[in-house]
Structure 1
Amino acid sequence: MMYLGQHLNVVNLLGVVTKDFENSGIMIIVEYCEGGSIEDFLEKNRIWFHDENNHETVSIRSTTQTENEQYSEDNQSDDEPESELEGDEQLSNDFSSTGSQFDDPSYEKRGVSFTRTDLLCWAFQVARAMHFLTSRNVLHRDLAARNILLCTNNVVKICDFGLARSLRDRNTKKYYKKGQESVPFGYLAPESLSSKQKYSAYTDVWSFGIVLWEFFSLGVVPYFQENIGFTEIENYLQNGNRLKKPHHAPQFIYDIMTSCWNAVPESRPLFDSLEQQISKLLEPELLQRFFDLNKVYMDSNSKNCESAKNRFLATLKSCPIALFFSQKTNHNNDFTGGIPLQQLA
């Protein structure tokens, strides 16, 4: 994580606790994302989703009444009209810069309204984060709504990369044992599901398409509606089948999804292209806000880079015969694993 540098849309490393290392091991301190995962948010608040284009509130109700529904009915008078969100009235009302709505004890009961614009904001930020990781020659391999966290200012951050292989709780319905490793079958590209188990930037792009599908299905589990088991997904995809268009996804969004699911990996768009495509669907003022929020992280990277350069030059002066190595990166192609400069013993 230190090698990556910092980015607005990545859960950043803040520090490391090495005290009592022999008994407790190393503990890392990372940014706190008070909103929890996007997956949980969508599941808890999907009844409050508002489609700006249709000007109607989506109502997804089970046979039993949820806490959100009961709270809404108990606190709304008969003559009080349902609030309708227009244009840019979205999560910024709840995820404000002046304070966090998560501090409100009633948050769990009252629910949070969100719109298609919010879904696009999240998608844009995830594409930016993945573009950043790819530029550092890092693969995620577990990109999913459960690994995307929500913060104030409607900022989302990608987590669970790098440490995902060793820290992941494998006993969930999202993972399936394949060989010696538990893998998220529903999010993997065909080439990752095959016996070769190939991973590249293009396989992360496939997963990004699944994330888009999760967003616009409001948190439905991929392939659940198709009633397809883990062991059947590979054949299902090899036969040319793909997830169907979510009810709340416009055709142009579904076109982006299907482009991510191209059977030929090299024909899938890379994250810089996805970032550009989605940015065209958002207002310039909204985009600029996220650029401005990211500036402090970019400035920090610049300072850290200059500091690392000075330390490197100082090392050369103190040890002129030292040898260093760096593995060549292959930015948007198959993962080769960038290795920071290290002194050989």
Structure 2
Amino acid sequence: MVFVEQPKKVIFGVAADWTKKLDRLIRNIMRVYSQKFNLIYLLLFFVLCIACNTRSSADIKNKSSFKPIIERLFIQGNWKDAIDIANIELQRTTSDKQNSYYYLVLGQNYFFLEDYDLSETNFKKAIENSKENADSEHLGEAYYGLGDINYLKWAYFEQEDALNISKAYLDSSLIQAKQGKLLELESKVLYRLGSILQIQGQNEESLKYFEKGLKISFSISDTVGMIRNDTHKAAELMRSGKLDSALFHYTRAYNHGKQINSNYTEAHSLCNLGQYHFDIDETPEAKRYFDKARYLSEELGQRIVMCRSYYGLSLIERRLGNKENAVKYAKKGLKSATDKEYVVYMQAFRRLIENIEKDNN
């Protein structure tokens, strides 16, 4: 049965030292599969797998037992749990390729936890390890990770020199993607290069990148890639006044985010829909979307999405004439931005607060 297969793979991989990891394993499996399993069934199934496991310890030692759970935790926004498991696996694995994978996992999850120093450190370890073992897949992903970090430094921290560094890493990632025929990675790089062009105001060029990335993602059923490229394509369509098409792509990105249970993606998509409805003067609908985004982003503790939702809610309250609430959300946003020194958001919230204070004066 399908619903048994994945936990079986997970459980077999820890049979050799299950007494040390039982508690952590059960807690994380229940977090990931809580809608499909109950605790009694899982415990019985775990014992059965241990009893029936006849594979050698040497074989078990080199298997990645937690990969399905780590990937699911990452999608759901349980980044700290994914980091904990990856660190455990790094201590026990003897496979160089698995080391690259777990360094990559750490880099990606620290990135979304907004600990960019630790993220960068682990991406560099993944690159070093992958180069030694001619591992193009993990090498390309790690290059992308460093490109993404430097993109943020440029776009959010206003470090102008980071843009060229970002492009260099992204170009290296794209080379690995094409050499290894890694279409999912290629789509991701195209999305990021397109978003750079978008910020620079090269709208027609950026749209070409998003459309190409979207085409690749559709060809391989890459849902996350579809979401990325749909979102940014929608923004370009919005700028050109193609409102119905923009709404279609924003809505599809949102639905895909819900489909894969990606809380981070869903929160961003809610902000996008909120901004869309705000821009066409559908204020109550905009408020509904931004409120949902705020709840999700606060639960995740992800400050970039929190800033987006607070900014949108502040604009809405200002439009409705609720000055006190408008200032409240703007100050919340300013605090979130200041916590991580997101310079662009800090400046935006300060300007917004000043403008609100000037209203009716």
Compare relative contact order (CA 8 Å, sep 6+) and give the higher one, 1 or 2.
1
Fold-level similarity (TM above 0.5): no
More strand by proportion, 1 or 2?
1
Normalised TM-score (structure 2)? 0.28
More helix by proportion, 1 or 2?
2
Normalised TM-score (structure 1)? 0.29
